[in-house]
Amino acid sequence: MTAFEALRGILPDSAEVLPSGHLAVGGCDLVDLVQQHGTPLYVYDEATILARARAYRDGLRAAYPGDSLVCYASKAYSARWLLQLLAAEGLGLDVVSGGELHVARSAGFPMERTYFHGNNKGEDELAEAVSAGISRVVIDNLEEVERLNRICGGLDRVQPVLLRLTPGVEPHTHEYIRTGAVDTKFGMAIQTGAAEEAVRRIQAAPNLALVGYHAHIGSQIFDLEPFQESARRVMQFAADMLARQGVKPREISPGGGFGMRYTPADDPRTPGDVVGALAEAVLDAAETLLPGEPLPRMTIEPGRSLVATAGVALYTVGSIKHIHGVRTYVAVDGGMADNIRPATYGAEYSSLLANRAGEAPATTVTIAGKYCESGDILVREAHLPAPRVGDVVALPASGAYNLAMASHYNMALKPAVVAIRDGQARLVRRRDTYDDLLRAEV
């Protein structure tokens, strides 16, 4: 079996091996793109993004009879070309900073479909969001209640808000991407009474309108039961607040964090399975806990699972180091500056050679980055044809968080990005220049 055959479902939907043996995406030869744009290079397949977006959007509409909205969690990767693509599909947007809000506004993304998350939003960020007419601010803490109310008062606005809840659900994922347990920096805990206190404070704030509740339990979660349990607990809290505080729940968000494939061992659920399970949990809870009440609007927030599979990172092999009896290091011209995830929390990736994609793996090597850290390892156990200097290494499933978390470590130049649509490749982000490294200095 070739590496390409082993990685179906991890590569973009349109990936294929050309008669030349080169890997292609959307009809475009990736080796040709490397020759045009150099490496590291990130390539995105728009058709794969659209397929995932439509699967979530249409699946949720089919599974949930109430109003619904799929919001892209833009912290996974924020770029104008991407946000414009998703806006045209009717998706909403989740931003977590003034910078992401700025990109969204620059892209012309509708503010009436934009939500502002975050555990410590600055006063300037909140003022910008409210002034822009953002749809929802998702309140995370008690200080934010006072801050946002004061800002809205100064702008003569009443801002619809959601309250972020900590439901006390423990998903099975890495500790750095778990956010639903009581011990977390995000949200207000239901169990401790903090969430109800936040409801009282919001209700007393004349410039805030509490319209519902949000929860997010973590990321890269494959089991559907934690999502369902979180949705049930949020709905129970909504019913309790209706009874005790008179707050009618107009909107419920079970969040995002749905798992996707990085390696053949990963076994994610389809978008249809995810939205079906979440809709079922909310509908059952609404029937039991909120009889006679209108169904709340339901929003979900896929990020990684919407864009990761669409992206492929490409690198050029620069050196090969055989340590007899230990391992072989294959060094490429990228690494932790454009993909910090393996070094940060042991994220695993698959790999193949884009210029020899039709060949079967013949050896196991370690793909190492070029940066001055021993932990700069992209793939610990890479099964490849025997690599040669000049080969083009492709890492599929690189569309989420790689570029969003990229840095200038070692004064690295951030890579170029190419998007492919209908067989045509276009440069959507040029590679940094050395002058870019000095642009902000004074």
Instruction: Pull the structure tokens for residue 106.
Output: 């620059």
Amino acid of residue 37: H
Say how many CA atoms lie within 13 Å of 149 toward its Cβ: 17
Distance (Å, whole) CA 172 – CA 178: 8
Distance (Å, whole) CA 390 – CA 410: 23
Residues in CB range of 408: below 8 A, 6 or more apart: 337, 414, 432, 437
In order, the DSSP letters of 307-331 are: HGGGEEEEEEEEEEEEETTTEEEEE
Distance (Å, whole) CA 172 – CA 87: 32
In 3D, which of 326, 328, 331, 323 has the Cα closest to residue 389? 331
Sign of CA dihedral 372, 378, 383, 384: negative
Count of beta carbons in the 10 Å neighbourhood of residue 131 = 12
152 flagged as catalytic? no
Q: At what angle do helices 80-87 and 98-106 cross, to 10 degrees?
A: 70
Distance (Å, whole) CA 417 – CA 406: 13
Write down the catalytic residue from 28, 71, 152, 372: 372
Q: What counts of helices (H) and strands (E) characterise the chain?
A: 13, 21
Distance (Å, whole) CA 167 – CA 154: 33
Beta strands 16-17 and 23-25 are: antiparallel
Task: Compute, in degrees rounded to 10, the torsion defined by CA atoms 382, 387, 393, 397.
Answer: -20
Which of the residues are catalytic?
372
